Structure 1
Amino acid sequence: MKPPYKITGKILKLVASISEKIGEVNSAHLSKPPTELRKKNRIKTIHSSLEIEGNTLTIEQITAIVENKRVIGPKKDILEVKNAIAVYDYLDNLNPYNFDSFCEAHGILMKGLIESAGRLRTKSVGIVKGSEVTHIAPPSEMLKPLMNDLFEYLKNGDDLNLTKSCVFHYEMEFIHPFIDGNGRMGRLWQTLILKDSYPVFEYLPIETLIKERQEQYYESLGKSDNTGESTVFIEFMLEIILESLEELLSIQNVSLTNIDRLNLFKSLVKKDYFTRKEYLMSFREISSATASRDLKFAVENGLIEKIGDKNTARYRYK
């Protein structure tokens, strides 16, 4: 069953703007941003998503953990960061349309933090803000059928993944399938759904913008609860997505290294054979000599194999 929401004029306008920005991102070779930028954005993502949930570690401390350095801080906070690093590193192995994969991700994210990591809750829960109960989640016996319906919509719904990712995020928060970790799972899974259609979203720190507008984030969830549909939340999240793309495009003088170019080209050609000319056509800003150096470096370092010589040379990623 399709979750309740309306496609408003605002949603259509935001989707059009986002699609335009994704085109600009692809043209600027930012669909897989430079390595250093990817690392910084991943750290910002982890920091913001966990800070929303009360984690006290700083960006500097999280960077140290990523670099396997010793950090002094609350054990729970350090474990939350290590788990988040593990699940984001595992993204390529997760299937956004598979419920078992969803539970597996929760198991990684909440390992050692709750006893029921990776398993649906068996108790009733309510969301409390201050002294007020703002949301009573569905009873535990309804969780499996509700989540099955949600994944069915995700797999077979007619709307764009841009919209479906927002709907999933809201509906999962509403269902509240786990005893803890629902917020971070909603944000993680929206990233995974978006990444399936648009690789750039793996490296966009959407959570940072959510953290900056945390009050609006919770307001939009509350308004959607009150109206019984996710329309307001979809509009809010599409605004966040658009802003994150605009922020990426605002970075001036982004220069790709040879490794960045080779990794980006690999995501385009996969295991197909290609020529130096085809490689050069994807990076019109570099010279033919630079393209040759890139490919020579890749061959010498075992990244690609070369068949033939000079004008007949063809390449393929290993």
Structure 2
Amino acid sequence: MKNIYFKENNKIRELVKKIEALNIAYKTLEPPPEIIKDLLGKSLLKSALYSARIEGNPLSLAEVGERSLEKNSKSLHQKEVANLLSAYLFVNSKNAPKMFSKNLILKLHQLVMKNIFSQAGSFRSEPSAIFNQAGIAVYLAPSPKLINGLIDELILFANQKSVPVLAKSAVIQFAFEKIHPFLDGNGRVGRLLSAFILFKAGYSYLSSSLEEYINENKLQYYEALEPSKDAGGFVEFYLQALLQTAKKNFSKINADNTKTEGNDLLPRRKEILLIIKDHPDCSFDFISRRFSSVNPKTLHYDLKKLQDSGFVIKIGRTRGALYRAKN
């Protein structure tokens, strides 16, 4: 992009290295689908809430939940969070587009501003500026005539495979704020675009609820967004936010995974363990006959987890291997 730049430095490289290491470690955990689903559901609600709070929404986590959002649709603050939740669910779903595009940007704005803003899903056609708390204009946005061209540049940058994805997700948010293509909702859509980039690159579980960190460090966030062209400071802030969020999410997943494999075994694994206790030295075929509707690969995975957790011993290595409960 012509008007936006950043120079990779040692700090950025170190942050990227740590985040990538956590992502690799996460993949080796192989958490069960139910743990992933639970974490992602809670994290996306947090992303929606804290993205709204960054913009001044007063609701707290205790005040929102999917049910309350549905029941209190007349409240503007509830609508804001409900709309954002819909947008984050869309970004993290199979229905999300494969490529970063103008249609994606307009779709996200439409979701975010639904029943809130009359020009939802449309670029602005009038001048705009960013004001500080004193009401003083601190940044004049580009002319409406330039918006489509600047967005096209952003799309080209976003779809470049040569740009490292973690830095790319930060620069996109920074550049989008500078383009300021909408009269309202630019910050919320910008954060969603970063989330989209991370989801497509396989970082969604570690980056979920990144907005909570940003909300807690709002002053630094806005200070990092201030320079008009140099995105370096914002990239550093964003990667630090991503690293802290990734550490938090990894610890949560690891703890839940350990708990699941301990006394709180998943129902099917608990049943498998009971079968092995009742029938010492039983074969895989014997166990699989009790779970005819379950994929054999899933049963092998369950047995491996029971072994890893110290509940079961495998005797032999061939197809004739037997399983015995560990005393």
In the TM superposition, 1:59-70 aligns within 5 A as 59-65=61-67, 68=70, 70=71
- Secondary structure, counterpart of 2:30 in structure 1: coil
Instruction: Provide the residue aligned with 2:312 in structure 1.
Output: none
1:141 matches 2:161: no
Q: What is the CA–CA distance in structure 2 between the aligned matches of 1:39 and 1:278, rounded to whole Å?
A: 23
Give the SS at the match of 2:138: strand
Correspondent of 2:159 among 150, 155, 160: 155
In structure 2, the residue matched to 1:119 is 122
Q: What are the ranges of 5 or more consecutive residues in structure 2 without an aligned counterpart?
A: 270-293, 309-318, 321-327
- 1:29 equivalent to 2:30? Answer yes
2:59 counterpart (32, 57, 67): 57
Query: 1:187 and 2:191 equivalent?
Result: yes
TM-score normalised to structure 2 length: 0.75
Larger radius of gyration: 2
Q: How many angstroms apart in 1 are the aligned matches of 2:31 and 2:220?
A: 29
Given residue 10 of structure 2, which amino acid in structure 1 is its aligned partner? G
> Shift in Å at residue 279 of structure 1?
6.5
1:287 deviates by 5.0
Alpha-carbon distance between aligned partners in 2 of 1:200 and 1:150, rounded to the nearest angstrom: 21
Distance 1:203 1:166 in 2: 12
Q: Structure 1 pair 243/202, CA: closer, same or farther in 2 (3 Å)? A: closer
Q: Does 1:286 align with 2:288?
A: no
**1:249-260 correspondence runs (5 A):** 249-251=250-252, 253-255=255-257
Residues 62-102 of structure 1, C-alpha deviations (whole Å, 9 max, x = no match): 2154674x349x72112112211222222222235111122
Contact 2:69–2:82 (8 Å) recurs in 1: no
Look up the match of 1:76. Answer: 76
Q: How far off is 1:51 after superposition?
A: 0.7
The answer as to whether partners of 1:127 and 1:135 remain within 8 angstroms in 2 is: yes
For the residue of structure 2 that corresponds to 1:134, the secondary structure is: strand
The 3 A distance-change label for structure 1 pair 201 and 181 is farther
Contact 1:21 1:246 in 2 (8 A): yes
- 8 Å CA contact retained: 2:166, 2:198: yes
CA contact (8 A) 2:107 2:121 kept: yes
Cα gap change, 1:54/1:128 in structure 2, threshold over 3 Å: closer, same or farther? Answer: same
Cα 1:246–1:168 change in 2 (3 A) is: same
**Alpha-carbon deviation of 1:61?**
2.7
Provide the secondary structure at the position in 2 that maps to 1:112.
coil
Residues 48 and 82, structure 2, Cα contact 8 Å, conserved in 1 = no
Question: Residue in 2 aligned with 1:214?
Answer: 218
AA paired with 1:285? K
TM-score (norm 1): 0.77
> Which residues in structure 2 correspond to 1:196-275 (within 5 Å)?
196-201=200-205, 204-222=208-226, 224-225=227-228, 228-251=229-252, 253-255=255-257
Q: Distance in 2 between matches of 1:12 and 1:156?
A: 19
Name the CA shift for 1:283/1:200 in 2 (closer, same or farther; >3 Å). Answer: farther
User: What is the CA distance between 1:203 and its match in structure 2?
Assistant: 6.4
Tell me, yes or no, if the aligned pair for 1:94 and 1:102 is still in contact at 8 Å. no
Contact 1:195 1:202 in 2 (8 A): no
Deviation at residue 286 of structure 1 after TM alignment: 3.2
Give the partner amino acid of 2:54.
Answer: I
User: Counterpart amino acid of 1:8?
Assistant: N
Identity of aligned residues (%): 25
Indicate the larger mover: 50-59 or 184-193. Answer: 50-59
Match of 1:175 among 173, 179, 194: 179
CA distance in 1, matches of 2:62, 2:303: 34
Contact 1:192 1:202 in 2 (8 A): no
Tell me, what secondary structure is at the counterpart of 2:213? helix
Report the equivalent of 1:88.
88
Q: Which runs of 4+ in 1 moved over 6 A?
A: none
Deviations 1:92-149 (A, max 9, x none): 2223511112211111110111111111001111111014221111110000000001
Aligned-residue RMSD, C-alpha: 3.0
Query: Does 2:119 correspond to 1:104?
Result: no
